Amino acid sequence: SSGINAEYGDRTLGTSMKSVGEVMAIGRTFEEAIQKTIRMVNCGSVNGFESGRLEATDELLVNASSNRILIIAEALAKGYQIERICKLTSIDKWFIYKLKNITDFERVLKTLTSTETLSAELMRSAKKLGFSDKQIARCLGTTELVIRSLRHSQKILPVVKQIDTVSAEFPASNNYLYMTYNGTSDDVPQKNVDEGGKSIIVLGSGGYSIGSSVEFDWCAVSCIRTIGQISSYERIVINCNPETVSTDYDECEKLYFEEISFETVTDIYEREFPRGVIVSMGGQVAQNIALMLASQSVKILGTSPESIDSAENRYKFSRMLDKLGVDQPKWKECKTLEDTKKFCRVVGYPCLVRPSFVLSGAGMTVVNTDAELETYLKESVDPEKQVTIVISKFITEAKEIDVDAVAQDGNVILIAISEHIENAGVHSGDATLVYPAQDLDEATVKAVTKVTQQIAEQLDANGPFNIQFIAKNNEIKVIECNLRSSRSFPFVSKASGINFSEIAARVLLGDQTISPIHIDCTSIHKVAVKVPQFSFARLAGADPVLGVEMASTGEVACFASNKYEAYIKGLCSTGFKVPSVGSKVLISIGSFKEKQEFLPSAKKLEEMGYHILGTPGTADFLSESGVKTVTLEWSTSLTPSTQSSNRRNNSSDDQIFNEFDLQEHLSTNQISLCILLPSKNRYRRPSSFMSQGYLTRRMAVDYDVPLITNIKCAKTFVDALRVVPRDLPVTQLDCLSSRQLLHMPGLVDTSMYTITTGLWTKISKSALTRGCTAILVKSHFGSHSGVSITPSALHKECELIQAEAVVDACCSFGILLSADHLPPFDKQVATTICGLSFDSHQAFENWLDNDFECNNSNDVKEENEELGSPLELNDVINTNWKDYASTHSLPICVPASTRSNVAALLMFSVLHNLHVHVTDVSDVRDLELIVRSKKKEVKVTCQVHVSNLLDKKKDLLRFIDSIDVIDIGTKQSKNATVEVFKDGETLSFLLNAINSNLLTPEQLVEKLHKNPCQIFKLQEQLESFLEVDMARHWTIVDPASPLCGTQGVGSIYRLLLQGHVAFIDGKVTQEVGLPDVVNLVLPHEHAFKHIEVPSISAYSSKTSLVKPTSLPTKHQVLPKDSFSLDKSSTEIPHHIQPVISSPSITTNHILSVKQFDRNKLHSIFSVAHDMKLMVQRVGRLELLKNAVMATVFLEPSTRTRCSFEAAMLRLGGVVINVSQDTSSLKKGESLDDTIRTVEQYADVIVLRAPHVGSALESSKLIRKPLINAGDGAGEHPTQAILDTFTIRQELGTLNGIIVTFVGDLKYGRTVHSLVQMLTLYDVTFNYVSPEDLKLPRPVFEFVASQGIVQHEYTDHNGFEEVFSLSDVVYVTRLQKERFDDISVFERVCGMFKVTPHLMSKAKSRMCLLHPLPRVDEISPLVDSDPRAAYFRQMENGMYIRMALLVILLGKV
């Protein structure tokens, strides 16, 4: 089992489950499998079944805990007999015998004196017993990489075996694999190098534990599926959790059921020759080994391991934020109590304190006083271990913000901003998360977005990442950044409808076709809330208070139209019981400030009818504040255990209920809700367990009383009780589908039906089948020729329409007034209609006739005659109707019949300032005329039937952007008598057009929802939308239909009308006669505005849809040229161009380390960092194009000269070389003349000379810059700068470190320069050298004058201890050419040598440096150790020298 959640409770195992997950290991022996499992559970912190980790006693063996397996290992190592262990543990002897095999062999390994004595036979035996390379190295006192190298040289490699999934009924052939050393052949053939590059390895999340659970597995699985959908790469998964989907072997082409460790991943990588490894989808476990994998030439896909380290190393990350001008909480690493106290006093309490490099907040706490700090350090830190404590200012009453994002090449392409309900101080894994953020103002959101982009650019993020912010008073601070998927990725993906892991996977593959995806949170009509799930009831003694250390074991997420309803749903999903009105609520609040903050909520509880109970202090405060509160007392003679015991041992009849006793109320379930807020957010330690507050909280948990312990959650819960109904209905927001669904708002059927009695049901049900939640209907009487309609009759008609709709209709509607025989104007009627409708063009002409005659001029008449319009004038005119229509932009709906009629309509619109809506447009020439009129701002809109739109012969589709409304009625025109289309078919044809890329979903929503609502002034219908299945195939099979045999893809799946399912899977479920069927017409207040086509991003968010073609479908494989896993840009990205101003160098020359202070160094380092980024991105720059550098090297050199030359060439310049052999110095020319001559040809000179002071003297003779590249035994300033830069790059800081110099310290000019430069920082020096090669006294005395602590060692004794305590070990070679007496050299040669054994004793985070060349000071076996940084040191030399050149030549 994995991740026992008993950090502050009883860790004893029993009948109550305490684990939060499990792992599974597969081997061919028990020993092999159990050792794998132990490593899996502990994420590599334990190497296997090994002794020396824990103490072993009889009591610990009897009382089983999560550490029992390691206690047994120690017991066997101490000599416990098998029978005794079996008796104490009740474990079967067979298992103990097997475990003893491991212990016995561990003892054999520890007897070996060196790797030379580790024979191939012993190595193979160790591997068969499940020993890892690291475990073997620990026994022999060497490093993992040395054992790995030795194992490979002995040709001892694991074989790959298949799991037999068919029970040996026939030969198994599957992709379910594991590795073992108990075999001689592979079940799966190993690939050749030529077959490489065709697969991708994805690392899973490993075993479940608090802080790393199924959410990371979801990310990994989404990544795996995306790779399979859009590429032809073979997918290889490595994971070890039997509960997860990623270990379903049908999810990928190969599943290795193995531990996620450096050894295992590298072994598989060397077998499979993949294109690369993805480490950013499985959480922290996979990412922890990224840097080590990269050091062994394993290609990491996505963000570089160096950037990952820059984000995780708090020194590097903090420096980066300072460079960007981004605020962060003040922090410091401290090694002593006094340093820690001093920091706290400077920044002020409270402070957040934790051990360095913790995962998921383990061991973190908030301290408020010096006393609490001392108690924490005493109880949390082993005084025998040198543990660095990280302490930071804790920001109170600040909101925490989570940002989940995906970046490509440093540019953010997808971002989601969530907020915590709790204030900062609650671990993000325990916090209640809300998306989209509801309480962040626009300024905060903009600031968060801006900083997120800046960080992504600086880290060159390429894939998923997460940033945590705190915000207070519109000021934001960055807490941390993780360059991987986060635990909230699944949550924001489901809440936004966009799979973040899918987009990230495409980035990791190098897909160059991705466009940024904008999520318009203002248009998302739902709120998602993620609520944590705790297991305090299973953990006896655990204090259920939330803090900075994660305690939850799971989470739920719920959707609703507001955060309160979503929050209540989430709480209920965790088993929380919402108290009923009239029940009792216990309130106990520690701090006075929180009492005041909660007071309004307490009053709301009272107003809602709850009975308030309180502990004495809280009850007094509430009563004095006007809240009726009953005081409950705590009986101090009882504890939860004795109270529970008394309850069991006494029947209810024997007990007398005390109405003022708190325990009585809790134990008898008299309280329905406990709001218990502790006085301080203290760490949960045994010493504080027996407070009354703790006992009350613990009893609430033990008696299953709903409990809230956070002030913000309590206030939110009370507000939710006020607005959320007790019986929560299941709505469409609670449902998700695996179908490929498009979500759209309810459509509008604009066919303008004349509904007579009995037709409401038929027509409205037919509209529902077409996805329409509203229809347009015409009045009855206006269609009867010759009928005179009075205003009162018209009133009755409108009331009749409404009454019939309530009884017979299945959807809402808008009323059009049939204007063929228009009644006298009535304003009350006018405000309830959405337009005037004419059945014929002639009726419209007659309506306008008299006014047209009065205003018509001769030239207009002539133009009209040319159009051929037979304007037969009538005597009927109603100026009031026309004026009202003109003023309120009431649409006048007239069918298009002939081209001349359309032209006349457009002219009428201009002359009378009327909004004309032309229906039944079927001729492309009419449409062209309408388009031209729109450009002249004529008030005209048009409507085209779907049959005409999709008719290729009519060619109307090319004007789709100018068509305002698509008519999806069942008839082709108003005058048609035959229904060409059956129910639902018209929309299906349009959906098929989307699948055929003839239309877009956004265009469909625009023409069938947005524009009709705007033209006819219809209000939005809440919770009304349709879901269409874009993958469902259909065929028209009705033989009577003229469309019989037509096939297509895309049809309605479900339609919701005002929260109710109205249509699903071809069946109308909406009942008639519902009271929520209403007239949707809005007040006619707004003048006509031209309709603008919405952008895709704006509309896709509102309708919660992502266009299917924007992401590849399951069967759509992107072409190979869409991918680029290697960056090959030839342009310098704008965000990594050097932008700092040139540091102020004291002279034109670089001669001595004494020229530099910390500010100048940091400026150089900043430029060097930018140079590194640019070289990695584009290779060659042109910053010093045509510049000339002369190198004058009068001593042998490889690294210094090559790095200077490479630096100038990378910058676009050229180099001329002068050496001892090629210069005129051989002819007797002086160095002064040589330098003066070279100055005439070069812009900068790099000089190495054999005599101390040569560079200084030469610089006095010339005006151009000169760089000292070493002057005998004097100084080497550029080497010192690059060494300092390397130390900072490797460790993140130059302060508080121990630097040990080893070797020739007398003649080592690199040492002389470096020690002087490092005196600028808070360091401690150790000097380890032979007596004859000690550091020169002047240098030693200078360092002492700077207040630096120094220690000298001149023999081998104690070297190992000094080495083990060092953060930096700087080794120099013994320079034979400097010795006058060769016997002295021979005597001291080899005295101090760095070996794998020494490295095994060193800190896990240290660096080993050497200026090179080396002779035998460092064993070549050490080279593969990630801590060996001397070759990276050489690479850094080029970047530093590039920085110096551009600074000296004024190009920054």
C-alpha to C-alpha distances, 215 to 197, 308, 1050, nearest whole angstrom: 29, 21, 33
Please, are residues 741 and 958 in contact by the beta-carbon 8 Å criterion?
A: no
1273 phi/psi in degrees, rounded to 5: -90, 15
Alpha helices (H) in 728-821, listed in sequence order: 760-769, 791-808
Please, are residues 677 and 665 in contact by the beta-carbon 8 Å criterion?
A: no
Edge-to-edge strand order for the sheet containing 671-677? Answer: 629-631, 611-614, 584-589, 671-677, 707-708
C-alpha to C-alpha distances, 1383 to 1306, 1328, 1379, 1418, 1432, nearest whole angstrom: 17, 20, 9, 22, 35
> Please, which residues have CB within 8 angstroms of residue 487's CB and are 6 or more apart in sequence?
211, 213, 215, 216, 283, 428, 429
- CA 308, 311, 313: angle at the middle one, nearest 5? 100
C-alpha to C-alpha distances, 1306 to 1154, 1271, 1372, 1415, nearest whole angstrom: 19, 14, 10, 17
Please, are residues 1013 and 750 in contact by the beta-carbon 8 Å criterion?
A: no
Query: HSE (CB half, 13 Å, CA atoms) of 1088?
Result: 25
Rounded to whole angstroms, the Cα distance separating 1168 from 824 reads 84
Rounded to whole angstroms, the Cα distance separating 1340 from 1336 reads 6
Rounded to whole angstroms, the Cα distance separating 1034 from 1333 reads 90
Alpha helices (H) in 78-213, listed in sequence order: 82-89, 93-111, 120-128, 133-140, 144-153
Edge-to-edge strand order for the sheet containing 965-967? Answer: 747-754, 772-778, 812-818, 835-837, 892-895, 916-919, 940-945, 965-967
- CA 59, 62, 64: angle at the middle one, nearest 5? 110
Rounded to whole angstroms, the Cα distance separating 580 from 925 reads 68
Rounded to whole angstroms, the Cα distance separating 13 from 2 reads 13
Rounded to whole angstroms, the Cα distance separating 1171 from 1163 reads 12
Side chain identity at 205, as an amino acid letter? Answer: S
Alpha helices (H) in 1000-1076, listed in sequence order: 1001-1005, 1011-1015
Radius of gyration of the chain (CA): 40
1216 phi/psi in degrees, rounded to 5: -120, 140
Rounded to whole angstroms, the Cα distance separating 269 from 266 reads 5
- CA 557, 562, 564: angle at the middle one, nearest 5? 70
Please, are residues 942 and 948 in contact by the beta-carbon 8 Å criterion?
A: no
Positions annotated as catalytic residues are: 1199-1200, 1227, 1248, 1276
Query: What dihedral do alpha carbons 512, 515, 519, 523 form, nearest 10°?
Result: -150
DSSP 1117: P
Bridge partner list, 416: 404
3-state secondary structure of 878: coil
3-state secondary structure 1274-1326: CCCHHHHHHHHHHHHHHHCCCCCEEEEEECCCCCCHHHHHHHHHHCCCCEEEE
The pair of structure tokens assigned to 1007 is 């023409």
The pair of structure tokens assigned to 1326 is 């150790």
